[in-house]
Amino acid sequence: MEESRPLDALNAARNKTVMVELKNGTSYVGKLRAFDIHINIVLEDAEERQNGEVKRKIGTVFVRGDTITIISPGVN
Amino acid sequence: MEESRPLDALNAARNKTVMVELKNGTSYVGKLRAFDIHINIVLEDAEERQNGEVKRKIGTVFVRGDTITIISPGVN
Amino acid sequence: MEESRPLDALNAARNKTVMVELKNGTSYVGKLRAFDIHINIVLEDAEERQNGEVKRKIGTVFVRGDTITIISPGVN
Amino acid sequence: MEESRPLDALNAARNKTVMVELKNGTSYVGKLRAFDIHINIVLEDAEERQNGEVKRKIGTVFVRGDTITIISPGVN
Amino acid sequence: MEESRPLDALNAARNKTVMVELKNGTSYVGKLRAFDIHINIVLEDAEERQNGEVKRKIGTVFVRGDTITIISPGVN
Amino acid sequence: MEESRPLDALNAARNKTVMVELKNGTSYVGKLRAFDIHINIVLEDAEERQNGEVKRKIGTVFVRGDTITIISPGVN
Amino acid sequence: MEESRPLDALNAARNKTVMVELKNGTSYVGKLRAFDIHINIVLEDAEERQNGEVKRKIGTVFVRGDTITIISPGVN
């Protein structure tokens, strides 16, 4: 069995809905449009959430990698 | 379909109005004039906002990349 | 005796259940699916825990390395 | 049209008055004498300000880049 | 006399009991099994301690280097 | 006119009295004896100050660059 | 006169008693046994101090460079 790398998981989630959580507690849920090795992320049709509650529709959003804690494709 | 990279989203927003949010909660809304791979940003005709409220007109502003959390072209 | 390196311990834990603790106090328990030299981690079938209590089932989760304090294969 | 880079904005502000804001909330207003790619900055005839109020005249000051949030040539 | 380097001290402690303290105040005491130049550490038979008190037996633990303040072979 | 770089300002201050301020609010005033590109600094005959008040005479002191906010040759 | 570099000051302090202060306020006083370019430090016969008061004898201690604010050979 071939060993997978962490970016493979992001690649598999491309164009799917993911949740991105930041160190400051804010999270963004949107379609994963792009990422790079710094884990900079672009989401489309994104919502900003605080404590699980939608704060605003934010459309396209670029999230700087070093502010991210987790990315999960399994959460809506 | 060609895979996009995060900086493509910034490039598409060049000379358009974007919102840049900082780790300290301050945000800047202005015309995206320049950016680099460190996500250092230059905005023109920028406003500084705190809690969604305009604090001051700041004109041209250089924002150091490592202080940024998100950049969104979809917010005015 | 051959000297082991830290990533050997992670390699030995591949496809086994591990606990990943973050700087913000949250921990994730799941099957270690992938890691890299930045200690970026992908867990599958993961649970998010706060103060030892399960907060939510999160499925697959990518954890950014620089937010991690410890990884332990010995905790369920 | 040629694309500009963030450091071009700093270069255009050389020998002009700029405001430099730090992560700790302090700001310095002075003549931009030098900068480098780390955004280390040297100001001359600088004033230190806290909450918009002048705290002290500090003359020449070297500001370490990683402590800076924004630099604005448009503020006095 | 030949000048020693910091990693020599860690090498001398290999397979011996060491205390590793983290920036968040937690410490781990266990047998030093592996380390690298980032000061990523693997301990075996480790205990987690808070304020000098054992919180839990944690077995094998990988500690990410950038979260560490000190490592001491002289403490049990 | 030749463009100056930030380290030129430190070089001009060599063997003169400078103030070094840290992210934690402490400052050191002493004779600038050495510096490098990381802005690691060595002061001689240094005093440690908190809120403008001398806390202790500390003689020679090595200050790690990443803890520094500003260095000013114009303050005694 | 030849220009000195910051590490020269550490080299001159080798095998002498130094004080190492950390970002978290703890300090260690001991014999400087080793250091490297990351300012990782090894002290021997070290004491841990908090607010100037000895908390414990800690013997040999490896201090990770990025947690250090200052190192002073002039303090006992």
DSSP assignment of B11-72? HHTTTSEEEEEETTS-EEEEEEEEE-TT--EEEEEEEEEETTEEEEEEEEEEE-GGGEEEEE
Interface B–D counts its CB contacts (< 8 A) at: 63
Assess whether pLDDT exceeds 70 at residue E76. Answer: no
Give the model's pLDDT for residue E25: 95
Q: If you average pLDDT over residues A19-43, what whole number do you get?
A: 97
Using DSSP bridges, classify how beta strands C53-63 and A68-72 pair: parallel, antiparallel or unpaired.
antiparallel
Q: Could you read off the pLDDT of D48-75 as tens digits, one per residue?
A: 999 889 999 999 999 999 999 999 996 5
Between CA D13 and CA B42 the distance in angstroms is 13
Give the model's pLDDT for residue G1: 45
Q: If you average pLDDT over residues A16-23, what whole number do you get?
A: 97
CB distance F71 to D60 below 8 Å: no
The mean pLDDT value of chain A amounts to 93
% of chain C at pLDDT higher than 90:
88
Give the model's pLDDT for residue E75: 59
Looking at the partner chain, which of D23, D66, D70 has a beta carbon nearest the beta carbon of B62? D70
Q: If you average pLDDT over residues B51-60, what whole number do you get?
A: 94
Give the model's pLDDT for residue A56: 94
Give the model's pLDDT for residue A1: 45
Give the model's pLDDT for residue B14: 96
Assess whether pLDDT exceeds 90 at residue C3. Answer: no
Q: If you average pLDDT over residues D39-50, what whole number do you get?
A: 97
Using DSSP bridges, classify how beta strands C68-72 and C17-22 pair: parallel, antiparallel or unpaired.
antiparallel
State whether A59 and B68 contact (CB < 8 Å): no
Model confidence at F74, in pLDDT bands (50, 70, 90)? low
Model confidence at A52, in pLDDT bands (50, 70, 90)? confident
CB distance B54 to B70 below 8 Å: no
Give the model's pLDDT for residue E1: 45
The set of residues, in sequence order, having a beta carbon less than 8 Å from that of B32 and lying 6+ positions away, is B10, B13, B14, B15, B16, B17, B18, B41, B42, B43, B73
Assess whether pLDDT exceeds 50 at residue C1. Answer: no
| Partners of residue C13 in chain A, C-beta under 8 Å | none
Q: Could you read off the pLDDT of C13-61 as tens digits, one per residue?
A: 999 999 999 999 999 999 999 999 999 999 999 999 998 899 999 999 9
Q: Could you read off the pLDDT of E24-67 as tens digits, one per residue?
A: 999 999 999 999 999 999 999 999 999 889 999 999 999 999 99
Q: If you average pLDDT over residues D19-43, what whole number do you get?
A: 97
| Partners of residue F70 in chain D, C-beta under 8 Å | 28, 58, 61-64, 67
Assess whether pLDDT exceeds 90 at residue B2. Answer: no
Model confidence at F1, in pLDDT bands (50, 70, 90)? very low
Give the residue from chain A lying closest to C24, CA to CA: A23
Looking at the partner chain, which of B24, B33, B35 has a beta carbon nearest the beta carbon of D23? B24
CB distance D52 to D69 below 8 Å: no
Interface D–F counts its CB contacts (< 8 A) at: 63
Looking at the partner chain, which of D34, D58, D59 has a beta carbon nearest the beta carbon of F8? D34
User: Residue C58's closest CA among C44, C71, C72?
Assistant: C44
Q: Which residues of B20-30 are buried (b: 16+ CB within 10 A; e: fewer)?
A: bbbbeebbbbb
What is the CATH topology of the domain spanning C6-72?
SH3 type barrels. (2.30.30)
Q: Which residues of A27-43 are buried (b: 16+ CB within 10 A; e: fewer)?
A: bbbbbbbbbeebbbbbb
Give the residue from chain C lying closest to A72, CA to CA: C61
Q: Could you read off the pLDDT of G7-49 as tens digits, one per residue?
A: 999 999 999 999 999 999 999 999 999 999 999 999 999 999 9
Q: Could you read off the pLDDT of F7-55 as tens digits, one per residue?
A: 999 999 999 999 999 999 999 999 999 999 999 999 999 999 998 899 9
How far is the first Cα of chain A from the last one, in angstroms, to the nearest whole number? 31
| Partners of residue E40 in chain G, C-beta under 8 Å | none
Assess whether pLDDT exceeds 80 at residue A76. Answer: no
Looking at the partner chain, which of E3, E6, E23 has a beta carbon nearest the beta carbon of G62? E6
Assess whether pLDDT exceeds 90 at residue B75. Answer: no
Between CA C41 and CA C35 the distance in angstroms is 4
Q: Could you read off the pLDDT of B4-39 as tens digits, one per residue?
A: 899 999 999 999 999 999 999 999 999 999 999 999
| Partners of residue B75 in chain A, C-beta under 8 Å | 56, 58-59
Distance of CA F74 to the CA centre of its chain: 11
| Partners of residue F61 in chain G, C-beta under 8 Å | 70-72, 74
Give the model's pLDDT for residue C2: 58
